[in-house]
Amino acid sequence: MEKIKLRKWDAAEHLKTEEDVVLYLQACMDEAGDDAAFIAAALGDVARAKGMTQLAKDTGLGRESLYKALSGEGNPSFGTILKVMHALGIKLQPQSVSHA
């Protein structure tokens, strides 16, 4: 019987186009609710897909500190999140939400 090799699924491998990135982040934000770590981890997936070394240069932040901040385990400042989003070409879009 042939052994099956499994590896951990990585969202970053599937974020190939700008549309992929936008749809992925929209879905993550819809799912996350108030879970800031989930959003940070989603941004980390996008950052890895785009290239963490270039992101570090574009933000002026250290590569290792970006990995940690965007891992879902870190606790990045809102300023860090804004720098990352700006460097990735992503903007926040305010939208009202009904609380029925």
Q: Where are the domains of the chain?
A: 15-88
Q: How many residues in the chain?
A: 100
Nearest to 11 by CA among 33, 34, 38: 38
Each residue of 41-100: pLDDT tens digit?
999 999 999 999 999 999 999 999 999 999 988 889 999 999 999 999 998 888 887 766
Each residue of 13-25: pLDDT tens digit?
999 999 999 999 9
Rounded to 5 degrees, φ, ψ at 67 are -55, -45
User: What single letter denotes the amino acid at residue 6?
Assistant: L
Full-model pTM: 0.83
**pLDDT value at position 9?**
85
Nearest to 11 by CA among 1, 25, 32: 25
Q: Which two tokens stand for residue 70?
A: 């965007």
Nearest to 15 by CA among 24, 6, 28: 24
